[in-house]
Amino acid sequence: MVSETVTIINPTGLHMRPAGLFASTMGKFSSNVTIKGNGKEINGKSPMAIMAGGLGAGTEIEIVCEGDDEADALKAAVDLVNSGLGE
């Protein structure tokens, strides 16, 4: 298991488009991906769960990956959040 804490920087947070981008990117990995934020544990491969998490701009989240390709999944997730999720 590997994890890293990052801050959501895109101004609108994880609404539909960035949540879908995050989930589809994480879907390419076999590892389990969990987003911890706002006191919740969210399935990082479910766009609906991500949107329901209410993760807005400036929210600090911990991304946790566990599985065979966990290091690659974590790097991709962190890079995506740090890039502003395409916004």
In the set 15, 17, 36, 40, the catalytic residue is 15
| Catalytic status, residue 11 | no
Tell me, what amino acid is at 34?
T
Q: Which residue, among 85, 82, 86, 83, has the nearest Cα to 7 in the 3D structure?
A: 82
Q: Which residue, among 1, 2, 68, 4, has the nearest Cα to 31 in the 3D structure?
A: 68
- 46: three-class secondary structure by DSSP: coil
How many Å apart are CA 19 and CA 67, to the nearest integer? 22
Query: Which residues are catalytically annotated?
Result: 15
